[in-house]
Amino acid sequence: MAPLTTSLEALDFAAIVRPGEMICWGQACGEPVALTGRLMEQRAQVGGISAFVGIGLGDAVDPAHADHVRFTSFCGTGTNRKLAAAGALDILPMHYSDLPKTLAGEVDVLLLQLAEHPHDGRLSLSCTSDYVEGLIKTARVVVAEINRQAPFTSALIDADDVDVAIRTDRPVLALARGMPSAVDQAVAANVASLVEDGATLQLGLGALPDCIADLLVDRRDLGLHSGLIGDGAMRLIQSGAVTNAAKPVDRGLSVTGTLLGSRELLDFAHLNPSIEVRPIAETHALSKLAALPRFTAINSALEVDLSGQANTEIAGGRYVGAIGGALDFLRGARASQGGVPILALPSTAEVKGQLSSRIVAHLSGPATIGRADASIVVTEYGVADLRRLSLAERLPKMIAIAHPDFRDTLGRTAP
């Protein structure tokens, strides 16, 4: 049965959403901006509702909307930081791999941005599958924005699963490339030294992962299997460094849960048979990651202590990061034959004009990654491989990759 098609102007969320229900929508470039904007305009008429949001790039996630909307997320990234700063963001503290099962029992109304195939009319989830694909069957109502400018990808959806649809023709949200600093470039060079030909990469979000990717264009037969693909990953594919030829599964395919980058990335992914956009059950499952030889997981942290524990969530008392998929991927790399689990970060941060060390004696936030999962920690000053080392053996290695100005203090305050 085809969905009820209406116009944006005629869309009445008060007739669709019941007070107290939870709404969820695709994150980042996958946000159906026309729908989320309309929902926020009508939030008072709808009544008190909850919204589960991912990485925010648009205007819907705003403290002004918290008068009628209770926002929950797995992360404090993007526009979510404004919510966190205003005390209007609740955090669901769990690994990314656990999100689908949890949300399936909570989300009542699902908002999607879809792409339509230019020739045969099939519908695609476009930029993001990750946790939304599994909600299509469990949500009470699915409302879709079929956007003519959204890239068509492999993540197909049956038109019968959509209850209400509108059609739009507007630019998709995109993320401008961050410019790496000289320190980022030095960190990236140290990370790149750990990546072998034939490795399958997982890259995080931001200027540093993109910088790392740019230093790998001379590698051969790299693979991609990641929670997200950004511009750096795109350039690796374009350069010929990524062929996915060495992967025993998904050979020839770059696998991701979300596209998150520039308009150039979205255009590159449009109708591209070499890019697979898949749900979390396929991108983050330990069994899938362990089956990829030389799986190289490259993630970051806000701070790492001398025992290898890492805080990826809170800085300066505010929730700015996430638990996310870092531990899923680090454990996957540890289980992979020849796998390389990496945490990469600059050794310092500037806070209110003062330099502070990100290699610390004691974490200022939660130990998102415990010391039993300690991996290879990389800064601009070197590489500390903590695997199989005792606590005493880890201390000198961690101090050696801290900024020189803080090494003496770290040595004196070491637990």
Regarding whether 198 and 156 lie in a shared domain, the answer is no
In a domain, 117, yes or no: yes
Regarding whether 303 and 351 lie in a shared domain, the answer is yes
- What per-residue confidence (pLDDT) applies to 1? 56
End residue of a domain, out of 134, 168, 202: 168
Instruction: Look up the pTM and report it.
Output: 0.95
- What per-residue confidence (pLDDT) applies to 153? 98
Instruction: Convert 372-381 to b/e letters by CB count within 10 Å (16 or more is b).
Output: ebbbbbbbbb
End residue of a domain, out of 111, 144, 168: 168
**Which residue blocks in 95-217 are alpha helix, DSSP H?**
99-104, 182-192, 207-214
What does pLDDT average to in each consecutive run of 10 residues of the chain (415 residues)? 83 96 97 98 96 94 96 94 94 96 96 96 97 97 98 97 97 89 96 98 90 96 97 96 97 97 97 98 97 97 97 94 96 98 96 92 96 96 97 97 97 84
Residue 261: exposure state from Cβ atoms within 10 A (0-12, 13-18, ≥19): buried
In a domain, 174, yes or no: no
Regarding whether 158 and 260 lie in a shared domain, the answer is no
Tell me the residue range of the domain where 360 lies: 182-413
- C-alpha span between 342 and 340 (Å, rounded): 6
- C-alpha span between 42 and 19 (Å, rounded): 12
